[in-house]
Amino acid sequence: MFNLILLGMLSGLFFSSTFVLNEVMSVSGGHWVWSASLRYLFMLLFLFAILLLQGGTARIRDVLALFLLNWKFWLFSGSVGFGGFYALICFSADFSPGWVIAATWQFTVVASLFVFILFGHSFPKRVWIFSLLIFAGVCLVNLSHLTTFDLHALILGGLPVLIASFCYPLGNQLVWEAHNGGHSRIPHIDSPLLANTFNKIMLLSLGSLPVWGVLILYLQPPLPSGAQVFNSSLVALLSGVVATSIFLFARNKAKNSNELAGVDATQASEVVFALIGAMLFLGVSTPNSLSLAGLLMIFAGLFMFIKYQKV
């Protein structure tokens, strides 16, 4: 279990690069649309290389054929789960520090419950108490970084991340439901290709492309600088490939639900790593007492989720 926790925290370290580098690009004047879209363009390049190594050109051909066979589903799930999720995360970077976004992102644990309910699952009442604790912590963290109460900045910095926390699990759950079948409005995609995580990431990334095209055409942002292109490629590599691979490896090594819950909970380390990164590279000051209280509430809520799953 100790080794799995270390692996989970290592993936959290690489995942935190998303929040730190997005803030770096925002501070340097890079438009959030490029920060978001370039990540997925680089992700597609990396994924093409990975799939070629795994199965050659035949693998690429099979994945593209599966996409075309159910293109409406992949466009919807990719636009929600990848496009909508990451566009909102990058947008919020113009209004909130990276570590605050990372802390707010922990609400995805709660949002996942609502997504499960949408597909017919139910939970004991005590789970909602843990959820409220996390939500209260998220609110405190978002309030703590404002020197004066600014409702406009609070909404633009926090609300998009809360919405994104619903988009990501919804996109992933749609794929799970499609693979397992049983829903009249969701196509049953019974393909062995969906057993491979990189295949699923490729399909969802392809499905997100229309979102980036529409945003670029509508907003017409100025061309990105070389530094923004490089930083976006780093996010794609560190978060999209390295962190995801380590995290999934740790989950696959888990022998029971307790170990699985422990690995999932290590993702809360993103907040700590994002805060340390911001302090080292962006000169962010030490969190005040209000933000520390919020972080403690978030971690306490996450710990309760682990304890609940052990029962």
pLDDT tens column, 281-309: 887 777 788 888 888 888 888 777 666 65
Q: Which residues contact 46 (CB under 8 A, 6 or more apart)?
A: 236, 237, 240, 241
184 confidence band (pLDDT: 50, 70, 90):
confident
CB atoms within 10 A of CB 32: 22
Q: What percent of the chain has pLDDT over 90?
A: 42
Indicate the pLDDT class of residue 258, thresholds 50, 70 and 90: low
**What gap in Å lies between CA 177 and CA 264, rounded to an integer?**
21
Q: What is the pLDDT of residues 45-99, one digit of tens each?
A: 999 999 999 999 999 999 999 999 999 999 999 999 999 999 999 999 998 888 8
- Which pLDDT tens digit goes with each residue over 17-55? 999 999 999 988 999 999 999 999 999 999 999 999 999
Quick one: pLDDT at residue 311? 43
Higher pLDDT residue, 220 or 268? 220
In the predicted model, what is the mean pLDDT of residues 198-208? 93
Go through the chain and tell me how many residues it has: 311
Q: Which residue has the higher pLDDT, 37 or 256?
A: 37
What pLDDT is recorded for position 238? Answer: 93
Could you tell me the pLDDT band of residue 237, with boundaries at 50, 70 and 90? very high
Tokens, residue 124:
């004991």
> For 241-254, how does the pLDDT look when each residue is reduced to its tens digit (9 = 90+)?
888 888 878 876 77
How far, in Å, CA of 54 to CA of 62, rounded? 13
pLDDT of the residue at 272: 83
Higher pLDDT, 127 or 92: 92
Q: Give residue 188's pLDDT.
A: 93
pLDDT in tens, 205-217: 999 999 999 999 9
pTM listed for this prediction: 0.86
Q: Give the mean model confidence (pLDDT) for residues 204-231.
A: 95
**CA quadruple 213, 219, 225, 231: dihedral sign:** negative
Going by pLDDT thresholds of 50, 70 and 90, the confidence category of residue 257 is low
Please, what is the average pLDDT of the chain?
86
Question: Is the CB of residue 46 less than 8 Å from the CB of residue 237?
Answer: yes
